[in-house]
């Protein structure tokens, strides 16, 4: 669209942005769904690890010539699990705050877009040029502020991933007795059903996926202030992700250390079954939410597209009439 391209060019010039790849967004909330599902799984797997850690504590098997960057208590696997859980919760909580701020910011974009379109279709003058610059700068400021917030989130996820990899590097399977093979217990049902090494690897994989998914958001931010549909998409992304965090992640992550208080294998087995059922219920419960939001998103996005097509046609008609009159 002529007007949108014009706005994009002006913003690029105003910010001296070079070599930025702008990719159109598909009419899908897949990114929001992936982020929400991964967050729920991450809390579930970490809960399972804490249940296992409640049985016994032990030091990490760290060679004397190795340097650890994240594990503050190498003599205690259990305490390290608490440390990691705390970092995980803080990351989720800060992300929740970030998405709230982004949601509020993008709600201002439609009015900015309308102002720009009105100015661009007005007879050029020195006053119009000044107002256009003010409007562009306002959108650029919103973009830059949210870029800083998302960059912080990505940095937090990077640290959490590095922490997880460090734990995995000196994994519990290298510590005698933890996998049940040399334990004096004859029946460790949890260790037969779950392998802690695999859980740690899954956690690292999920954090890596979340980090990669959030790395798509800056690209959205760079384009959402030029195309209103991307603004609408990011609004839905932040809204849905925050709703999932509030309903199914934050409370669970905040109380995750309770799993360390379990005393018997029977209690651990029941707790593990409980969190597994909660995971299944959560994933089931979010399906209607996404169906509803997807339908709402598609309807409103179609209406938005039609409105811009109408605006484009009106603008082209005015341009043709102006040329004809000359």
Instruction: Read off the pLDDT of residues 234-243 as tens digits, 9 standing for 90 and up.
Output: 777 888 888 8
Within-domain flag for 5:
no
pTM score, whole prediction: 0.67
Cβ contacts of 243 within 8 Å, gap of 6 or more: 289
pLDDT > 70 fraction of the chain, expressed in percent and rounded: 67
**To the nearest whole number, what is the mean pLDDT of the chain?**
75
The total of structural domains in the chain comes to 1
The pLDDT, as a whole number, for residue 28 is: 66
Distance in angstroms (rounded) separating the CA atoms of residues 170 and 213: 27
Distance in angstroms (rounded) separating the CA atoms of residues 163 and 97: 22
Q: Is the pLDDT of residue 168 over 70?
A: yes
Within-domain flag for 88:
yes
Within-domain flag for 261:
yes
Within-domain flag for 244:
yes
Within-domain flag for 286:
yes
Closest CA to 249 of 117, 147, 96: 96
281-324: per-residue pLDDT in tens?
Answer: 999 999 998 888 888 888 877 776 776 666 556 655 655 665 55
20-76: per-residue pLDDT in tens?
Answer: 333 434 446 788 888 889 999 999 999 999 998 898 888 888 888 888 999 999 999
The pLDDT, as a whole number, for residue 231 is: 67
Which tops the pLDDT comparison, 190 or 247? 247
Which tops the pLDDT comparison, 113 or 145? 145
**Domain assignment of residue 311, given as a range:** 26-109+137-319
CB atoms within 10 A of CB 234: 26
Max Cα distance, the chain (Å): 96
Question: What DSSP designation does 228 have?
Answer: H
* Residue 175: pLDDT band with limits 50, 70, 90: very low
Within-domain flag for 81:
yes
Within-domain flag for 131:
no
Closest CA to 84 of 160, 28, 181: 160
């Amino acid at each position: 669209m002529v007007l949108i391209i014009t706005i994009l060019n002006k913003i690029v010039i105003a910010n001296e942005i070079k070599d930025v790849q702008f990719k159109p967004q598909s009419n899908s909330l897949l990114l929001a769904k992936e982020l929400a599902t991964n967050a729920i799984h991450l809390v579930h797997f970490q809960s399972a690890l804490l249940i296992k850690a409640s049985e016994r504590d032990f030091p990490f098997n760290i060679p004397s010539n190795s340097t650890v960057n994240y594990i503050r208590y190498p003599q205690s696997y259990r305490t390290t699990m608490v440390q990691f859980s705390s970092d995980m919760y803080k990351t989720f909580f800060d992300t929740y705050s970030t998405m709230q701020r982004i949601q509020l910011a993008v709600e201002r974009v439609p009015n900015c877009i309308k102002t720009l379109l009105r100015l661009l279709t007005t007879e050029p003058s020195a006053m119009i040029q000044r107002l256009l610059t003010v409007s562009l700068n306002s959108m650029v400021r919103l973009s830059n502020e949210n870029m800083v917030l998302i960059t912080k989130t990505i940095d937090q996820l990077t640290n959490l991933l590095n922490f997880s990899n460090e734990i995995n590097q000196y994994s519990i399977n290298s510590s005698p007795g933890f996998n049940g093979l040399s334990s004096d217990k004859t029946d460790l049902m949890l260790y037969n059903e779950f392998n802690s090494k695999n859980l740690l690897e899954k956690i690292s994989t999920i954090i890596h996926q979340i980090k990669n998914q959030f790395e798509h958001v800056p690209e959205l931010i760079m384009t959402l202030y030029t195309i209103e549909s991307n603004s609408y998409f990011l609004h839905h992304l932040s809204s849905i992700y925050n709703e999932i965090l509030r309903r199914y992640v934050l409370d669970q992550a905040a109380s995750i250390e309770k799993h360390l208080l379990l005393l018997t294998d029977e209690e651990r087995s029941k707790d593990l079954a409980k969190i597994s059922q909660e995971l299944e219920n959560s994933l089931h419960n979010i399906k209607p939410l996404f169906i509803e939001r997807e339908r709402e998103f598609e309807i409103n996005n179609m209406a938005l597209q039609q409105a811009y097509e109408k605006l484009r046609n009106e603008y082209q008609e005015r341009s043709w009439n102006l040329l004809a009159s000359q």
